[in-house]
Amino acid sequence: MANQVEKLRQLLAGPELLPMPCCFDGLSAGLIEAAGFPLTFMSGFAVAAARLGLPDTGLISYGEMIDQGLAICSRVQIPVIGDGDTGYGNAMNVKRTVRGYRQAGFAGVMIEDQAAPKRCGHTAGKQVVGRDEALARIRAAVDARDEGDDIIILARTDARATHGLDEALRRVEAFAEIGADIVFLEAPQSEEEMRAFCAATPVPKLANMLEQGQTPILPPATLAAMGYKIAAYPLTLLSCAARAMQEALATLAAGNHPERLLDFRELRQVVGFDEYHREETRYAGAGDNHRREGK
């Protein structure tokens, strides 16, 4: 696990913008790694949708997120940042969340300042806690990191929607001063606001490229020029997968068979049958070899 944290630190220290498609299970994480992306993020929205079939409105629990994270982190060798939501309670809960995510294999964890029940940052009805409580959450996360649970802390504010841009900027500046490794201002509403965020602090910054969300979708080169370090694509894979399944089901319902399928040989390779059989062959006849060697 320490290696994954160091990998993420090295990526953050590099000169390039980091494109980060977000995952929701071991399969999606493995596809992201196979496509050559350097890191991924376990999206709370996507996990709630894929695991429970429910909206990202605080319905999924800490234990369910940890369980999903174990499957994801054990599947890939690239660093994974986990969505830690609000930390699931007060400052002490935040510390437990950080420690639990670290033990699950995450290289980073995101803690945000929404009030419970939290929800997707681009939907209606969200609220944030007061600034003091928001800072206490990030301080607790940073303390957990510094007390031995080495992990990258991604600090997020949703205050733009409820308190305006100035308050959101004050929060990310304070998060950086406390010691957050990455900061994230959710849902800026224009390129000017995105530039203001990037100018607020030298700490690495994350852009959330949610299709049909409130933030402009910009090319990676533009984001890099603004000063962003990570470009997250939180729902791209989930949305594509859902659309493909809807189309396949409609085709089946019409009495036809879908044509846009992975070849079965390729599907076996994607889920790991080829690697499994290579490993299995290594141990076939191992007892016979042992006897021939007189052992």
Separation between Cα atoms, residue 70 and residue 81, nearest integer Å: 12
275 and 129 assigned to the same domain: no
In a domain, 257, yes or no: no
In a domain, 181, yes or no: yes
**In this structure, how many other beta carbons lie within 10 angstroms of the beta carbon of residue 275?**
10
Q: Which residues of 32-70 are buried (b: 16+ CB within 10 A; e: fewer)?
A: bbeeebbbbbbbbbbbbbbeeeeebebebebeebbebbe
CA distances from 147 to 42, 81, 91, 142, 154 (A): 24, 19, 15, 9, 17
Residue pLDDT, tens place only, 150-191: 999 999 999 999 999 999 999 999 999 999 999 999 999 999
Residue pLDDT, tens place only, 233-271: 999 999 999 999 999 999 999 999 999 999 999 999 999
268 and 238 assigned to the same domain: no
Separation between Cα atoms, residue 89 and residue 271, nearest integer Å: 36
Separation between Cα atoms, residue 222 and residue 66, nearest integer Å: 35
In a domain, 254, yes or no: no
196 and 239 assigned to the same domain: yes
180 and 66 assigned to the same domain: yes
Q: What pTM, to 2 d.p., does this model score?
A: 0.93
Instruction: Sort 217 into a burial class: Cβ within 10 Å, 0-12 / 13-18 / 19+.
Output: middle
SS3 202: coil
209 and 96 assigned to the same domain: yes
Residue pLDDT, tens place only, 80-116: 999 999 999 999 999 999 999 999 999 999 999 999 8
Query: Residue 224: what pLDDT?
Result: 98
189 and 287 assigned to the same domain: no
In a domain, 138, yes or no: yes
Query: Residue 53: what pLDDT?
Result: 97
Query: Residue 294: what pLDDT?
Result: 59
Separation between Cα atoms, residue 81 and residue 72, nearest integer Å: 10
162 and 278 assigned to the same domain: no
Return the sign of the alpha-carbon dihedral for residues 110, 111, 113, 114: positive
Contact 138, 93 (CB under 8 A): no
| CATH number, domain with residue 236 | 3.20.20.60
* Whether residue 1 has pLDDT greater than 70: no
In the structure, what pLDDT confidence band is assigned to residue 2 with cuts at 50, 70 and 90?
low
137 and 282 assigned to the same domain: no
Residue 36: both structure tokens together: 């050559």
Contact 41, 232 (CB under 8 A): yes
- Give the orientation angle of helix 131-146 with respect to helix 91-104, to 10 degrees: 40
SS3 128: strand
273 and 145 assigned to the same domain: no
Place of tokens 């969340």: 97
User: 27 lies in which domain range?
Assistant: 2-243
Separation between Cα atoms, residue 241 and residue 15, nearest integer Å: 32
Number of domains in the chain: 2
- DSSP H or E run through 154: strand 152-157
CA distances from 5 to 56, 65, 77, 176, 181 (A): 27, 19, 11, 19, 12
In a domain, 206, yes or no: yes
